[in-house]
A and B are shown apart, each in its own frame.
Chain A
Amino acid sequence: MGKRVYLGMSGGVDSSLSAALLLEQGYDVKAVYMRNWSRDLPGFKCTWAEDLADAERVCVTLGLDLEVWDCEREYKQTVVDYLVDSYAHGLTPNPDVMCNQTVKFGTFADRAFAEGADYVATGHYARAVADPADPAGATTRLMRAADEHKDQTYFLWRVPRDIFARTLFPVGGIASKAEVRAMCAERGLGVERKPDSDGICFVGEVGIRTFLLDTLERRAGDIVDWETGAVLGRHDGAFLFTVGQRKGLNLGGGPARYVVRTDVEKNIVYATANRDCPALWTSSMDLADVHLVAEDLPEGDYLVRTRHTGELRRAHVTLTPSAEHSQAPCAEASAASCQQAGLAARIDFAEPLRTVAPGQSAVIYDGLRCMGGGIIQRPCD
């Protein structure tokens, strides 16, 4: 028997092919379905039972055992509550980043290693590569996937660094999703036609709005013109709006307007009809709650991505001790994101970009290598 691998299986295309590939490579594979969320929401039926059934079909085809691990409590505490709390504070979080940190590479990995796993594996599009300068393999680099269109390192920046040496990403080296689907079909796994599931898994098709309104109360407030201060209309809760958002303002005709800023304390949404409004553009940002995947991050020029598979932009990155940084101006944001801050960072982009909603992740790359990331702070003006 080969080395023992615990594989997180979702019933999707990527983890299904991962199972087949690991077996072909001679690993002793144990498949685990993490049940993170099983509650139905208004107008949306959670698909967990169907997903589990798909995972089970693949496992039976491959002669693998499938265990269901109940991770609902951890998921609720570290992902769902974080998500709702962040929105309530006017931030736009990436719940998948938290899920990878606390559930997939937290609860799941901890239990797998405690049960004697040599490796954990997932169907993520990413690569864990031994550091060529360190033949002992103690340090492992996180690299973007071979398929740049599917790369998921944006969601992996908070994963504890030492896990990558014991992590396998079987599909991370495959050139395209089409190839992944073809390889599934070749092996008769029966999942090759399942649609991609990008986005927050448990929110699924229901949309974040329905999800938030399940927990948070609507609250009527003004939509205010950013330039003139004139009241343009009413909204039903500033926490429901995100910087840069265009749809859903319901101002009844007129020019397209963009959300420039939200103030959840005063319950005001600021909007502008001017696409070139300076507040919609930025050339620098502050990160808090910075986590490094690499051993360190010397000050210098890097590539920075501010959304999943978004453009990689040239930027100068400077690490700063958090104490000096997350001061009063960011106090609002701190409840949700600055709390466990160890490090902060300053990013100066070579060229201006559209303002990114506070609460989102900025992830730093050196070439193909993911160095780490942080949570984007509200501009302190």
Chain B
Amino acid sequence: MPYDATDASPTAPAAAPGRPAPHTCYLDYAAATPMAPEALEAMLPYLSERFCNPSAPYALARAAKADFEDARARLAHVIGARPDNVTLTAGATEANNLAFAAVDGPVLTVATEHESTLRVAEAREHAFVPVSPEGLVDPAEVARALTPQTQLVSISLANGEIGCVQPIRRIAQVVRSERMRRLEAGQKCPLLLHTDASQAAGNVSVNVSTLGADLVTLSAAKVYGPKQVGLLWAADGVELRPLTLGGGQERGVRSGTENVAGVVAFARALELAEELRPQESRRLAMLRDGLQGRIMAAFPWAWVSGPRSGKSRLPGLMHVSFPGLEARRLVILLERVGVCVGTGSACAASKMRVSHVLRAVGVPDDVAAGSLRITLGRPTTAEDVDYAARAICDAVRQEAGRLGIDPATGRKDVI
């Protein structure tokens, strides 16, 4: 579909809200992914004929129980774990809450974490490990920030806003040597490493033995599975403590009738994401680099946040700031032509607050206000990226023009 620039003009209400946009180009896959057709197909029978409660005693229910446990085994297999160590939850937020509930003492995390980690951390004694301007955690800083009382270190494998992939394996080594030191010193205080790998799955490896963490969170909603389905993997010997009491499902850790349909779909979705990961991550990185090249060539004054190195960066994510512009207006102009992009983490955007992630990495508030988070996904094509690049360039030029900002230099015209 050719991009029609007139649609972006304020005088042409052709693509006004309520009327169909000329082309839909969804580029906010870090906020939500559409379900993979395979995962959708896998779950449907469990919403109708295979609806039974897995705890019931008759054959039909036992079949549902068996399918549920099969899905758990497949999820475990994808992440290189044993099924007994996987607890299924209603999404990543719950899994993160459950991970923190495993310990009582002080926690160590980073200021760029997702709200579901930050809010839980703030409810108890906590400290932050500093991050670099690229958003990366230096394992040596973790070693420095650990105290003999620290009981949990929680650092996301990948940040969903600026896309940095943390060196969890090396952080795990730091945690292990502190554990060893405590053992040698006869100190009984436990220490666990938790990583939320929700945004990383499908982009980088989430094999639990490679990561070296003690607790790993995953979400179905970010890997083309259903929302409100997730898991917490816990290493052998880590005792989880329930937050939801009731019928004692999930070995008593998470009561509530099992979401058989959701978990079956999660298993299929995660299998597929892992299977496609090598080629998809390469393909998305190429598309993203092309998009970034186009935007930066047009607006050399724009800022790209996150790591420079491709290895430490989510392949489909680009976080770009246009100083002096308002991202919320750009989003409206872009939606007019069917392009959906985020202004940062959707949770923070809805409250119209400056992103805590950008603050933590030192982006000034006025620059942060002009930030778009563009995330490509499995359905994204080269044509989509081409269309979006032109739409973004047009929207930025239009807004810059309105504000008297020279689109070539980013400077305010002096008359």
Chain A residues with CB under 8 Å of chain B are 49, 52-53, 56-57, 59-63, 65, 187-190, 193
Whether B16 is near chain A, meaning CB under 8 Å from some CB there, is yes
Contact B17–A57 (Cβ < 8 Å): yes
Contact A61–B351 (Cβ < 8 Å): no
Contact B13–A61 (Cβ < 8 Å): yes
B186 to chain A minimum Cβ distance, whole angstroms, is: 50
Whether B333 is near chain A, meaning CB under 8 Å from some CB there, is yes
Given the known interface contacts A61-B16, A190-B16, A190-B18, the answer about A56 and B351 at a Cβ–Cβ threshold of 8 Å is no
Contact A190–B17 (Cβ < 8 Å): yes
Contact A49–B352 (Cβ < 8 Å): yes
Contact A63–B402 (Cβ < 8 Å): yes
Provide the bound-state CA to CA distance between A61 and B12, in Å.
9
Contact A187–B13 (Cβ < 8 Å): yes
Provide the bound-state CA to CA distance between A190 and B18, in Å.
6
A-side contacts of B328, CB under 8 Å: 53, 56
Provide the bound-state CA to CA distance between A60 and B13, in Å.
11
Chain B residues with CB under 8 Å of chain A are 10-11, 13, 16-19, 328-329, 332-333, 336, 350-352, 402
B-side contacts of A61, CB under 8 Å: 10, 13, 16, 332, 336
Query: Among A49, A61, A187, which residue has the most Cβ atoms of chain B within 10 A?
Result: A61
A357 to chain B minimum Cβ distance, whole angstroms, is: 37
Given contacts A56-B328, A63-B10, A65-B402, 13 further A-B contacts (CB under 8 A): A49-B352, A56-B332, A57-B332, A59-B329, A60-B10, A60-B329, A60-B333, A61-B336, A63-B11, A188-B16, A188-B17, A188-B19, A190-B18
B-side contacts of A59, CB under 8 Å: 329
Which of B13, B333, B351 makes the CB contact (< 8 A) with A49? B351
A99 to chain B minimum Cβ distance, whole angstroms, is: 22
Closest to A63 in B: B10
A-side contacts of B329, CB under 8 Å: 56, 59-60
Closest to B351 in A: A49
B256 to chain A minimum Cβ distance, whole angstroms, is: 25
Provide the bound-state CA to CA distance between A11 and B26, in Å.
26
Contact A188–B13 (Cβ < 8 Å): yes
A-side contacts of B18, CB under 8 Å: 188, 190, 193
Provide the bound-state CA to CA distance between A188 and B7, in Å.
13
Closest to B19 in A: A188
Query: Among A49, A56, A60, A187, which residue has the most Cβ atoms of chain B within 10 A?
Result: A60
Closest to B17 in A: A190
Provide the bound-state CA to CA distance between A168 and B333, in Å.
29
Provide the bound-state CA to CA distance between A59 and B329, in Å.
9
A28 to chain B minimum Cβ distance, whole angstroms, is: 14
Contact A49–B332 (Cβ < 8 Å): no
- Provide 24 A-B residue pairs closer than 8 Å at the C-beta atoms, listed in order of the A residue: A49-B350, A52-B352, A56-B332, A57-B17, A57-B332, A60-B10, A60-B329, A60-B332, A60-B333, A61-B10, A61-B13, A61-B16, A61-B332, A62-B10, A63-B10, A63-B11, A63-B402, A188-B17, A188-B19, A189-B16, A190-B16, A190-B17, A190-B18, A193-B18
A-side contacts of B336, CB under 8 Å: 61
Provide the bound-state CA to CA distance between A59 and B351, in Å.
19
Closest to A187 in B: B13
A-side contacts of B17, CB under 8 Å: 57, 188, 190
B391 to chain A minimum Cβ distance, whole angstroms, is: 14
- Chain B interface mostly: loop
A-side contacts of B11, CB under 8 Å: 63
Provide the bound-state CA to CA distance between A188 and B402, in Å.
20
Provide the bound-state CA to CA distance between A189 and B16, in Å.
7
Provide the bound-state CA to CA distance between A63 and B13, in Å.
12
Provide the bound-state CA to CA distance between A188 and B16, in Å.
5
B-side contacts of A60, CB under 8 Å: 10, 329, 332-333
B-side contacts of A63, CB under 8 Å: 10-11, 402
B-side contacts of A188, CB under 8 Å: 13, 16-19
A24 to chain B minimum Cβ distance, whole angstroms, is: 12
A23 to chain B minimum Cβ distance, whole angstroms, is: 10
Closest to A193 in B: B18
Provide the bound-state CA to CA distance between A62 and B13, in Å.
9
Query: Among B11, B17, B333, which residue has the most Cβ atoms of chain A within 10 A?
Result: B17
B12 to chain A minimum Cβ distance, whole angstroms, is: 9
B-side contacts of A187, CB under 8 Å: 13
Provide the bound-state CA to CA distance between A53 and B350, in Å.
9
Provide the bound-state CA to CA distance between A52 and B329, in Å.
12
A-side contacts of B332, CB under 8 Å: 56-57, 60-61
Provide the bound-state CA to CA distance between A59 and B352, in Å.
17
B60 to chain A minimum Cβ distance, whole angstroms, is: 41
B-side contacts of A56, CB under 8 Å: 328-329, 332
B-side contacts of A62, CB under 8 Å: 10
Provide the bound-state CA to CA distance between A49 and B231, in Å.
32
B-side contacts of A57, CB under 8 Å: 17, 332
A22 to chain B minimum Cβ distance, whole angstroms, is: 15
Provide the bound-state CA to CA distance between A189 and B17, in Å.
7
B335 to chain A minimum Cβ distance, whole angstroms, is: 9
Provide the bound-state CA to CA distance between A32 and B16, in Å.
22
Closest to A35 in B: B352
Provide the bound-state CA to CA distance between A126 and B13, in Å.
29
B-side contacts of A53, CB under 8 Å: 328
A32 to chain B minimum Cβ distance, whole angstroms, is: 15
A186 to chain B minimum Cβ distance, whole angstroms, is: 9
B404 to chain A minimum Cβ distance, whole angstroms, is: 11
A354 to chain B minimum Cβ distance, whole angstroms, is: 43
Provide the bound-state CA to CA distance between A60 and B333, in Å.
7
Provide the bound-state CA to CA distance between A193 and B18, in Å.
10
B-side contacts of A189, CB under 8 Å: 16
Closest to A185 in B: B18
Provide the bound-state CA to CA distance between A62 and B17, in Å.
13
Provide the bound-state CA to CA distance between A193 and B10, in Å.
21
A92 to chain B minimum Cβ distance, whole angstroms, is: 34
Q: Nearest 8 CB-CB pairs, A to B?
A: A188-B13, A188-B16, A190-B17, A63-B10, A60-B332, A60-B329, A49-B352, A57-B332
Provide the bound-state CA to CA distance between A49 and B336, in Å.
20
B4 to chain A minimum Cβ distance, whole angstroms, is: 16
B-side contacts of A193, CB under 8 Å: 18
A377 to chain B minimum Cβ distance, whole angstroms, is: 43
Closest to A48 in B: B352
A-side contacts of B19, CB under 8 Å: 188
B-side contacts of A49, CB under 8 Å: 350-352
A65 to chain B minimum Cβ distance, whole angstroms, is: 8
A-side contacts of B350, CB under 8 Å: 49
B159 to chain A minimum Cβ distance, whole angstroms, is: 24
Provide the bound-state CA to CA distance between A63 and B9, in Å.
9
Provide the bound-state CA to CA distance between A61 and B11, in Å.
8
Provide the bound-state CA to CA distance between A62 and B10, in Å.
6
